[in-house]
Structure 1
Amino acid sequence: MRKIDVLDKGYVRLVDVMGGDLSVVNSARVSYDKESFEIDEKDEKLIRFLAKHDHSSPFRHSILQFEMYAPLMVARQHWKYIVGSDHRDPFTAWNESSRRYITENAVFYVPSPTEWRSAPENSKQGSGKPVNKHLGLHLTEDLMKLIDMGTMMYERAMANGVCAEQARLFLPAYGLYVRYYWTGSLQSVAHFINQRLADDAQKEIQEYAKAVYELAKEDFPVSLDELVKTTKDAIAS
């Protein structure tokens, strides 16, 4: 199982894979009662044709399962994409850890002083240039104080017998790391990569999209090269 660390404490882990580029080819060739056993130049040409002309069904016969460990603000953005986007692919699944049932130590995403970003000049969402380091230092310190206070109140509530599903209200939510399994077809995964590597995507979720791409491309090098429309510079940056 392959894994890539993301942000300060997060990661993406490829748990399981069904299929590869050859699966895409054979899912298409079955229409003519044909089958390939090794990827060759003709097969690569077929994959390029399928992607170019939006013949998407062959890309839905391959499945990838990921374990994601991400701040809640990233997980919820990912989840909204799962339930709200028009990617014509119902083959997605999502299961997430819940603090109704678990009481493991709370882990939070804390940007370093150089990672805080200013508000954009011409938009109500997204971010602009980094703030100055002096302000960034104060912001990091303030966030850590908030986390310490919330964690103390959470632990105190639990110690006094308050149920976990209510005690969690004291935890600062957006930076709280959550663990979840995300399973989707190759088409769904490529759609996520395209959407979340776009220039206007939140930087933190871009880092997760890059990790998903790096983990998936080993099994689908030809297909992802055709399906991912984002520039290679965005993936490498």
Structure 2
Amino acid sequence: MTTIKVLNEGYVRLVDHMGSDLTVANAARVSYAKQSFELSDRDIKLIKFLAREGHTSPFRHAITQFEVYAPLMVARQWWKYVVGSAHYEGTGDSLEAWNESSRRYITEEPVFYQPAAGEWRSKPENSKQGSGDIIAWELGEKYTRELQEYTELGLSKYEAALADGICAEQARLFLPAYGLFVRWYWTASVQSVAHFLNQRLEHDAQKEIQEYAKAILSLIEPLFPVSFDQLLTTGSVD
């Protein structure tokens, strides 16, 4: 399984990867001119030690690449991890790259995320961010309908601007932004992915990005089972 559907129209696809748990162990041993050719109990103990003690540089030698299709509100939360990837305390550059599709060059049919009537959440009682319980269905149905009408209005103005010869990079200003699905490639080290997962799998993370984090974990954990078991257990990449 290399693709997982998320939020109906969205998905996460594993494009490529380099390395394994053995890569992590060998990267740590190179200073002693040692190398393993098959993952052993000794290598597993070493990976556990590295994660427990916060020696994270060996985890940056294993790389993963994903294609993600998600609403803009998710993409912009995710993007913070790329911006901050060179600023983890004591770790240096954690190896991340991001390339996103742009409506400057293409005019593919816009797709929007619209919560169903039973998916709207209330504001939290004791926090300025996040969300609370599901609101009453009747109120949710009202806002689903209003969002759909608002989206259709923006879409019609976007299409009219294109038809009148307005360039795509300006016509896109009519598209309602935060629910618009965008597509990007995310290339990141095992350390970077674990840092993302440690924060976005938490119960207080935005639900929509939690769903994408779960998809990332399902795709990457079989490739690096020991590393992720340790990095997500110890939280040493936070």
TM over 0.5: yes
Deviations 1:135-156 (A, max 9, x none): 1111111111111111111000
Whichever residue aligns with residue 131 of structure 2, its letter is S
Q: State the aligned residue count.
A: 231
For the residue of structure 2 that corresponds to 1:68, the secondary structure is strand
Partner of 2:230: 226
Check if 1:144 corresponds to 2:145.
Answer: no
Where do 5+ consecutive residues of structure 2 fail to align? none
| Alignment correspondent of 1:50 | 50
CA–CA separation in structure 1 for the residues paired with 2:8 and 2:131: 19
1:29 and 1:140 map into 2 onto residues whose CA distance is 56
Q: CA deviation at 1:84?
A: 3.2
1:104 corresponds to 2:108? yes
TM-score (ref. length: structure 1):
0.94
How many angstroms apart in 2 are the aligned matches of 1:204 and 1:82?
19
CA distance in 1, matches of 2:228, 2:94: 19
Letter in 1 for 2:46: L
- Partner AA of 1:170 in structure 2: F
Report the Cα distance in structure 2 between the residues aligned to 1:50 and 1:9, rounded to whole angstroms. Answer: 39
The amino acid that maps onto 1:100 is: R
1:201-220 correspondence to structure 2 within 5 Å = 201-220=205-224
**2:133 aligns with one of 129, 133, 141:** 129
Q: How does 1:111-122 map to 2 (within 5 A)?
A: 111-122=115-126
Shift of 1:195: 1.4
> Which segment drifts farther, 29-38 or 42-51?
29-38
- Match of 1:95, SS state, is strand
2:37 matched residue in structure 1:
37
Q: Is the 8 A contact 1:197 1:230 kept in 2?
A: no
The answer to whether the 8 Å contact 1:117/1:129 transfers is: yes
Correspondence for 1:93 among 94, 97, 110: 97
Task: Give 3-state SS (helix, strand or coil) of 2:182's partner.
Answer: strand
- Structure 1 residues 58-80: Cα deviation after superposition (integer angstroms, max 9, x where no partner): 10001101100000000001112
Structure 1 unaligned regions, length at least 5: 232-237
Decide whether aligned partners of structure 1 residues 168 and 230 sit closer, same or farther in structure 2, where only a CA change above 3 A counts: farther
Q: Which residue of 2 aligns with 1:179?
A: 183
- What is residue 77 of structure 2 aligned with on the other side? 77
Question: How many angstroms does 1:35 deviate by?
Answer: 1.2
Deviation by residue 1:158-204 (Cα, 9 ceiling, x = unmatched): 00001111111111000000000010111011101111112221111
Q: Identity of aligned pairs, percent?
A: 64
CA distance in 2, matches of 1:136, 1:4: 27
C-alpha displacement at 1:230, in angstroms?
8.3
Identify the residue that residue 234 of structure 1 maps to in structure 2: none
